[in-house]
Amino acid sequence: METVTFIGIDLAWSRANPTGAATVRGGTGGGELVGAALLGGDDEIVSYVAAAAGAGPALVAIDAPLAVPNAAGRRAGEAELAAVFARHQAGAHPANRGLPVFQAGVRGEDLVRELERRDFVHRASVQPGVPVRQVLEVYPHAAMVALFELDRTLKYKAKPKRALAARLEAWAAYQRLLDSLREFDPPLRGQAMLTGQDVAALRGRRLKDYEDRVDALMCAYIGLYAFRWGMARCRAFGTLEGGYIFTPVPRALWSSNT
């Protein structure tokens, strides 16, 4: 089968902040992490995708709102996702055009338009094993709950009153889980280039930059997993027009024929 490129983008909602990226190559039988990067502006992100994908099939999995038609509140897809994942503390941040970060436009929408000019199709579903050039909105927190059968999300991100020791413990768990993807279907290889990092040696901006690249790897794996299983083990909460979030789902929601 033709090799497919899976590009994960942990897109910063604000253009002032760095964006993580990771590239996995493979197919339904598994994939290998071949690179990760920290990117700046939209042009740099598009250039990264263009270079990684070339003219071949690629699935670009982006953690950020790619369609935000609502002026206020939350998208219907966020409400639908919360019905399944809020109990695991994996609900998504509400996105609407009234947020200050979107006053100059929704970055994800702009990025989709640029990728569509390069023959990528924005679609909220994935056909297993069918090579395409596609862009997809994903959500790593929900995906990790589903894939790793977690009771709740890992608390590795910086939050007020969250102790560094607790974050480091969560980071150790995150790295172990990413390493365990070697035994998944589909398997992932090459992640040691990221999971081998001594997180305790990082602080401040360096730790956040590492976080962005690791989360981008998770996005890329969601793309690989979707290419293997399609909608049998994944779901798009919401609609393409109204805003959606694509993620693997818990085993109880798998199609009966998988």
**What digits encode the pLDDT tens for the residues 152-203?**
999 999 999 899 999 999 999 999 999 999 999 999 999 999 999 999 999 9
**Torsion angles phi and psi, residue 220, rounded to 5:** -60, -40
The model's pTM is 0.97
Q: Enumerate residues 6+ apart whose C-beta is below 8 A from 34.
A: 23, 24, 25, 190
Q: How confident is residue 257, by pLDDT bands cut at 50, 70 and 90?
A: low
β-pair partners for 122: 135
Q: Give the closest residue to 26 by CA, choosing from 45, 50, 48, 7.
A: 7
Name the average pLDDT for the chain: 96
CA 171/CA 182 separation, integer angstroms: 18
Domain residue spans of the chain = 4-249
**Residue range 52-76: mean pLDDT, rounded:** 97
